[in-house]
């Protein structure tokens, strides 16, 4: 119970950060990248402050042997660069540049009740399901071959 309540509270803090900073507003996001047009540098400060807080906080947290509500830290272990990482990230950027929403921006934006984040999130879930199906199909072929 405490796990679920604390996760909801952390989600709320995350969402408040996203909404207050402007990451849930496609106009602000797209203007950050539009250096040769209507440039709005706000998101640079969003990324910078989020990164500094997380960098410093992780130094303290990851020194401990385990998190409060779990037996281990669940950290990604892969360190090598590969084609899916770079190609996938490149496609993500193209989509972000077209629609102005990234996943972390779009989910809190749902709470605004506006139609555009719902359309975006539905399409994004379609993309996630499609990519997972494709990856599973590749994995099956590799096993058979």
Q: Which of residues 57-96 bind another protein (CB under 8 A)?
A: 57-58, 61-62, 64, 66-70, 72-76, 78-81, 84-96
The binding track of 114-133 with respect to another protein, each residue x by CB under 8 A or -, is x-xx-xxxxxxxxxxxxxx-
Minimum Å gap between C-beta 83 and another protein is 9
Phi and psi, residue 37, nearest 5°: -130, -120
Minimum Å gap between C-beta 33 and another protein is 4
Angle (CA) 43-47-48 rounded to 5° is 110
CA atoms of 5 and 73, how far apart (whole Å):
19
- Considering the complex, state which of residue 132 and residue 137 has its C-beta at the smaller distance from another protein: 132
Contacts of 19 (CB under 8 A, 6+ apart): 108, 109
5 binds another protein (CB under 8 A): yes
Footprint (CB under 8 A) of another protein, residues 7-46: 7-28, 30-31, 33-38, 40-46
Q: Left if phi > 0, otherwise alpha if psi is -120 to 50, otherwise beta: which for 100?
A: left
Give the number of other CB atoms < 10 A from CB of residue 14.
Answer: 14
140 binds another protein (CB under 8 A): no
């Amino acid at each position: 119970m405490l796990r679920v309540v604390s996760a909801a509270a952390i989600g709320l803090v995350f969402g408040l950060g996203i909404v207050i900073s402007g990451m849930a507003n496609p106009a602000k996001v797209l203007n950050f990248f539009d250096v040769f047009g209507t440039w709005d540098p706000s998101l640079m400060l969003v990324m910078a402050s989020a990164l500094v807080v997380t960098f410093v906080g992780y130094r303290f947290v990851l020194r401990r042997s385990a998190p409060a509500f779990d037996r281990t830290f669940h950290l990604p272990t892969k360190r090598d660069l590969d084609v899916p990482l770079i190609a996938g990230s490149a496609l993500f950027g193209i989509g972000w540049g077209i629609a102005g929403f990234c996943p972390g921006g779009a989910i809190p934006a749902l709470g605004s009740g506006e139609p555009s984040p719902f359309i975006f999130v539905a399409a994004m879930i379609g993309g996630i399901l499609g990519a997972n199906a494709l990856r599973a199909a590749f994995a099956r072929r590799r096993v058979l071959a």
